[in-house]
Structure 1
Amino acid sequence: MNVIKSVQLYIDKMIEEAGVGMKILLMDRETTSIVSMAFSQTEMLQKEVYLFERIDSGRSNERLKYLKCIVFIRPTRENILRLSNELKSPKYGSYFIYFSNVIPRTDIKTLAECDESESVREVKEVYADFLSINANLFSLNIPTCLHALNWYQDALDRSVSGIIGVLLSLKIRPAIRFKNGSNVAQQLAKKIFDTMNKESSLFSFRPPENGDAPPLLLILDRRDDPVTPLLTQWTYQAMVHQLLTIKNNRVDLSSVVGVPSELKEVVLSAEQDEFYEKNLNSNFGEIATTIRDLIESFQLKAKEQKKIETIQDMKNFVETYPQFKKMSGTVNKHLVVISELSMQISKKALLELSELEQDMVCRADHSAQLQKVKKLVAEERINIDDALRLILLYSMRYERHANCGTVGLLNALKARNGRTHLVPKMLEYISQYARTELFSTVKITDAVKLTRQLIKGMKGVENVYTQHVCVLKEILEEIFKGRSIDQHYPFINDVPAYRRPPKEIVAFIIGGATYEEAMAVHQLNQMGYRVILGGTTIHNSESFLDEVIAATNGAPFKHSRSLQAFHSASNA
C-alpha cells in the first residue's frame, strides 16, 4: 500500500522493456506530472532517458532514428489522435507505448492501422493514472470538480479513471461505501462499481482468505467537512502548503526577500529529500529543533572538508564531496523555507488566530468567541484572508444561534474590503449532514457518543493548536473498531457481513483532501492499519475557497432567513 512505489515500479518496467540504449520519454501534460512526482530528472538520466517531450505541445520535426521512444500518455481521444499522426510519420526508430489506464480495443486497432512502418514494439496498459504525493497520499489534480453542487462531467470521468488506476496498481478489488445523502458520492461509487464489473478480468485478484472482509473504497464528500481546510496548520508539509503552496512537489519562493537565485523554486519530495521525508509530519516546534541539529551536523562536516593535509585526506574529500554538496543544498533549502514560515507566523499572528480557530470548532462559547472574532477582524495587523477564515468558521458554527453575529462581522470585513460574498457561498456549500453533526450538541441519552466526545475533549487539552479531529479520522477509527457505519456510509451493492473490519482502506474525498487528513492517515498507519488517502486535489484554505465558489455557482439559492440576511449584508 504505497502509491509512490506503485508508480515507480510501472515507470521502471517501461524503461526496462525498452532495453539498453538512448531513450526519449514522450508524455502528455498529466503524465509529465506523474513521472516528475516519482523520479527526478537526474534519476531518469541514469536510466538512459536523455530527452523528454510533450505530445500535446510544439515539437521539433527532426528525425532521430537512433532513439527508442517510450510513450507514456493517458488514453484520451486527443492523445490517440496525436499518437496516430506520430505513427504515420515516425520520428524515432522504435516505439514502446504505455497507456496510464484502460484503453478501448477500437483505439488499439486505430493505432495499429497507422503503424505502417511497423515501428511499434510494445503496447500495454499501466495503471499509473494519479499523482503520488506521499506513500499514502495521491491526488488527481482537479482544482474544482463541482458546479451547482453537481459533478462536472470531465471531473467525474477523471475521478473514475484515477481511482480505478489506484485500485489496479494496488491490486485490490474493494467493496465500496459512499456518503449517504451525497449525490456526487453515490454517482462516483456507482460508476466505479460498474467499471470494475465491466473490466472484471482486470480485477480478478485473489479474494481475502479465512472469511476476512475485502479491502474497502470509502468515498467521502468535502461538503461534510468544510472546517478542516480552513484551519491553520502546524505540521511541516501542511504549513508549507498553507503559507507557500506546494504544486507538484514544487514550492515557488521567488517572492521571498533575499532568496538566492538557485532557491527561487525548490523541490519538496519525500522520495528525493531524506530530511523532508523524516519531518514532513513533524510539528513546527520539532522542525525548529531538527533544522538546528542539521545545521550543526553540516558545520561539523564543513570543518572536516577543510582539513586536507595528506593524500588520504584528498581521497576522502573526493569520495565524500557529493554527499557534502547534497547536504549543503538540503540545509540551505529547508533553512529558507522554515525562515519564511517563521516570519509569516509572526507577521500574521497565526498562533493567536489558531488558538481561536481551534476553540471555535471544538467548544461552544458563543459570547466570548464572538467578541474575540470581532476584535481580530477589526485589527489591521490581521491578514484580511485570515480574518475571513475566522468569520467563515464562526458563521458555520453559529449559523442557527439566536444571537448570531455574522451580519455584523460581514460589515467589519466589508470595511476592510474583504471578500464578504464568500460567507453566504460557504453556507450554501456546507452539507445538511455537516450542519446537524459537525457542531452538534451531544444528547445525554446517547451515552456512547457522549463518552466519546468527553474523551475527545480531554485529549485536545494537551495542545490548543491541534485539538480538532477531522471527520475522516473519526470515520476510519469507527471502521477499524468494527462499529457499524451503514447508516451514513452504505455499500453501493449487497455485501455480506464480516466478522472483522477490512485490513486495507482507500479513502477518496470528492472536493479535495488536505494535509491534516493525510497526517491522520499517517498516524493510523503507524498504528498498524493500512490506509491510502486520495482526493480530487490537495487543498490549502485559498484553493478550497476557489472550490467553494466554483461548486456553488449556479446552485439554487436556499431562501433561509439567515442566508438572506447574509446576502443582503454582503451586497449592501
Structure 2
Amino acid sequence: MVYSQSEMLEEEIFLFNKIEDETRPVMAHLKAVCFLRPTENNIRLLKNELKNPKYGEYYLFFSNVLQKKYLEYLAEADQYEVIMQIQEYYGDYFAINPDTWHLNLPIETCVSTKLSSWTETQSRIEEGLLSCLLSLRVLPAIRAQKSSAMAMTVAQGISDEITNNAPLFEKLKPSSPSDVPPILLILDRRDDPVTPLLSQWTYQSMIHELIGINNEMVTLPENSTVDPGSTVLLSPLRDPFYKEFMYDDFGNLGIAVKKLVDEFQSRNKINKEIKTIDDMKKFVTEYPQFKAESSNVRKHVAIMESLQRIITKRKLFDISELEQHLACNEDYSYAVKKLDEVFNLPETDPNDLLRILILFQLRYEFNRDAGNTINKYMAILKSRSVSEDDLSVVSTALKYGGTSCRSEHNNLFENKDIRDTLRSMVKTDIFTVSNVFTQHKPLIHQLVNSILSANLSEESYPYFGGSLQKAKPTKVILFILGGITFEEAFAVQELNKSKQPAKVVLGGTQILSSSRFLQLLKDASKDKLW
C-alpha cells in the first residue's frame, strides 16, 4: 500500500500530486499517469483537468469498473485529444497481506442496516467486493449469514453487481458442470464478537493492537526510548525481517530481534576496521546497505521495546491468560478465581477489565450465578471512576453478539480441558510465550473447515442463486462486515500454509483492534443501535 519516492523514481515517475490540486503548473512535456477510483467526484475532477490539460498525455487507470456514462463524459471532455489510454486495473481495496484485504471504512458505518449512512456504505462494500472478484478472476457461488440483515443485503447486492457486469465474468464461468466454483461467504462481525476482544501475540497483530498500524505506517509512542514519536514503514515487501517474523509470537520475536542486533553489531565491527584503500572502497560501496540495515535494526528494537513496556505496564500476560480461558474453557469456578486475581492487580487499565467482563458475560450468558459476579466487578470498576456509559458496554455486548444474535449452528466457544491448559503454561517473559496465550482459534477457522468438508449449514449460510451439490471448492473468499482482526489474518495464513487444497482469502470492511471494537460498543450503547 505504501511506495517510497525512491521506488517511484526507479520507474521514471518524477512528480507526485493529487488531481484536485489546482495550483499545479502546466508541464506539457510530461506524461501523466492517473490512478483513480471511478467515482462521480473523480470523473468531475478529470473533466475539469481535460478542459485545461497540464500535461502532454494522460494515461488513465481506474481501480474498478468504469461506468459507460463516465467513459462518455471523458470522451466529450477530451477536446485536446490528450487521453492516450483508459484501463480498468482492479484494486479498489487495501491489500495488507498476500491473502488479506480491507476497505478502510469507518467502523461505526458497518453495524446496522438501520443507519442513515447504510446505503452509501453498502454501495462501497459491493464496489470493493466486485473489484476483489475481478482481480482474483473468480465467479463465485455466494453464501451469506442468514441471521444478519447486513450480510444478506450485501450478498444480494453483489449478486446483482455480477449480473449487471456479466460480460466481465463470462470467461470466468466453470468450463464444465463438474467444476466446483469458488465460495464467497459474507459474514457479520456479530457472529464472532470474541476474537476482536482478545489480546494479540503475533508480531503484526501486537503492533496494531498496542501501537497501531495505519496503511503500513507505525508511529512510535512519545515515551519510546528509541526514536520517540517517529513514523516508520512496516511492509513485508520492503522489510525482510518483518516478512519473516510478522506471524511469529512474542517469545520467538525476542530471540529474533536479539539475533538481528547481534548480526548487525558483528558487521558493524568489521566495517570499523578500515585500514587500506580497498577497505575504504568496500565500505563506500556497501554504505547504503549498511545504513538501511542500521535503520531497520533501530526500528525493530524500538518497536520491541515499546511492546515490552506496554505489555508489562498493562499486565497483559495475566489479562491474556484469563481471556484465553474464557474463550476456550468452560470451567466457571476457575474463571471466577482468575477474575478476582486480575481485578486485584495494581494499576490495570479499566478498558482491559471491561474486555474481561464482556468475555465473561458472553461465555456464561446462561449461567445463573454469572449476573451476580458481573455486578460485583462492575461495582469495583465504578468505584475506580469508570463512568456509567462505559459500564453499560457490558450489557450492550450481549445485544450485539449474544446467542440470539449469532447463527444457530455457531459453535463460538471452545471447551478444552482446563488441565491441558495448566500443563501448557510456562514462564512468561520476552523469550517465552506460553501456548496458554494462543489457544483460541477464531470462528472463521471452523467455518473454512466446514466449507472444505462440504458441511457448512445451508440453513444458517444459504446460497444465493440456488443450492449446490456437496462439493469441495478450491478457493474460499471470506468477507466480514464490521471488520477483521490480525488474528483472523494469521488464521488464514496458517490455513493456506497447511496441506488443505483450497486457497483462502480474507476481506473486511476495516481492520479492528480491541480498543476500536470496545469504542464501537460504547458508541452503540449511547445510540441504542440494538
Contact kept, 8 Å, 1:38 with 1:271, in 2: the verdict is no
Q: Does 1:218 align with 2:185?
A: yes
Q: What displacement does 1:40 show?
A: 2.6
Distance 1:501 1:435 in 2: 22
Q: How does 1:105-504 map to 2 (within 5 A)?
A: 105-144=68-107, 145-146=109-110, 148=112, 150=114, 152-208=118-174, 211-260=178-227, 264-377=230-343, 379-404=345-370, 405-418=373-386, 419-431=390-402, 432-434=404-406, 462=424, 463-498=435-470, 500-504=471-475
1:339 is matched by which residue type in structure 2?
Answer: E
The match for 2:427 is: none
| Contact 1:503–1:530 under 8 Å retained in 2 | yes
Q: Distance in 2 between matches of 1:108 and 1:304?
A: 60
Gap change, CA 1:162 and 1:117, over 3 Å in 2: same
For the residues of structure 1 that align with 2:141 and 2:420, how far apart are their CA atoms?
35
Deviations 1:323-374 (A, max 9, x none): 2111111110000001110111111111111111111111122233234324
- Once residues 400 and 435 of structure 1 are traced to their aligned partners in structure 2, the CA distance between those partners, rounded to angstroms, is 17
Shift of 1:113: 1.4
TM-score with structure 1 setting the length? 0.84
Paired residue for 2:64, among 89, 101, 115?
A: 101
Question: How far, CA to CA, are the matches of 1:254 and 1:241 in structure 2?
Answer: 13
Distance in 2 (CA, whole Å) between partners of 1:351 and 1:454 is 20
**Rounded Cα–Cα distance in structure 1 between residues aligned with 2:439 and 2:197:** 14
For the residue of structure 2 that corresponds to 1:247, the secondary structure is coil
Structure 1 residues 85 and 307: CA distance shift in structure 2, 3 A:
same
Distance 1:296 1:178, change over 3 A: same
Deviations 1:259-289 (A, max 9, x none): 326x711111111111000100000000000
**RMSD value over aligned CA atoms?**
2.4
Report SS of the residue matched to 1:69. Answer: strand
Q: Is the Cα–Cα contact under 8 Å of residues 361 and 393 in structure 1 kept in the other structure?
A: yes
Deviations 1:124-164 (A, max 9, x none): 21111000101111010012233556462222111111111
Match runs of 1:498-537 below 5 Å: 498=470, 500-528=471-499, 529-537=502-510
- Contact 1:73/1:100 (CA < 8 Å) preserved in 2? yes
The reply to whether residue 45 of structure 1 matches residue 9 of structure 2 is: yes
CA drift of 1:434 comes to: 3.6
Q: Using the alignment, how far apart are the partners of 2:419 and 2:146 within structure 1?
A: 27
Q: 1:435 to 1:171 in 2, by over 3 A?
A: closer
Q: Secondary structure at the match of 1:251?
A: strand
Give me the identity figure in percent. 36
CA drift of 1:102 comes to 1.0
Instruction: Give the Cα separation in 2 of the matches to 1:69 and 1:196.
Output: 32
Structure 1: distance between partners of 2:491 and 2:464: 26
How far does residue 171 in structure 1 lie from its aligned partner after superposition? 0.8
Counterpart contact for 2:221–2:306, Cα < 8 Å: no
Measure, in 2, the Cα distance between the counterparts of 1:494 and 1:459. 44
Of the candidates 508, 520, 523, which is equivalent to residue 547 of structure 1?
520
Q: Is the 8 A contact 1:148 1:551 kept in 2?
A: no
Query: Structure 1 residue 438: deviation in Å?
Result: 6.0
- How far apart, CA to CA, are the structure 2 residues paired with 1:478 and 1:307? 61
Q: Distance in 1 between matches of 2:95 and 2:523?
A: 25
Residues 232 and 149 of structure 1, relative CA distance in 2, 3 Å threshold: farther
Q: CA separation in 1, counterparts of 2:235 and 2:460?
A: 36
- Cα shift readout 1:75-104 (whole Å, capped 9, x = no counterpart): 111111111111111112211111111121
Q: Check the 8 A contact 1:175/1:495 in 2, yes or no.
A: no
Amino acid at match of 1:545: L
Summarize the Cα distance change of 1:493–1:552 in structure 2 as closer, same or farther, 3 Å threshold: farther
- Pick which of 286-295 and 479-488 moved more: 479-488
Q: Deviations over 1:227-252 (max 9, x none)?
A: 00010111000000110011111111
Range with greater deviation from structure 2 (482-491 or 72-81): 482-491
Q: Distance in 1 between matches of 2:407 and 2:507?
A: 24
Count, aligned residues: 508
What is the one-letter code of the residue matched to 1:425?
Answer: T
How far, CA to CA, are the matches of 1:173 and 1:523 in structure 2?
A: 25
Q: CA 1:103/1:66 → structure 2, altered by over 3 Å: closer, same or farther?
A: same
SS in structure 2 at match of 1:539: coil
Verify the 8 A CA contact 1:252 1:266 in the aligned structure 2. Answer: yes
Distance 1:468 1:110 in 2: 53
**Offset at 1:437?**
6.2
Call closer, same or farther: CA 1:177–1:168 in 2, change over 3 Å: same
Q: Structure 2 CA distance, aligned partners of 1:393 and 1:200? A: 45
Per-residue deviation at 1:299? 1.0
Decide whether aligned partners of structure 1 residues 437 and 495 sit closer, same or farther in structure 2, where only a CA change above 3 A counts.
Answer: closer
Q: Deviations over 1:9-57 (max 9, x none)?
A: xxxxxxxxxxxxxxxxxxxxxxxxxxxx15332211211112221234x
Q: Is the 8 A contact 1:429 1:552 kept in 2?
A: no
Whole-Å separation in 1 of the counterparts to 2:419 and 2:135? 39
Aligned to 1:81: 44
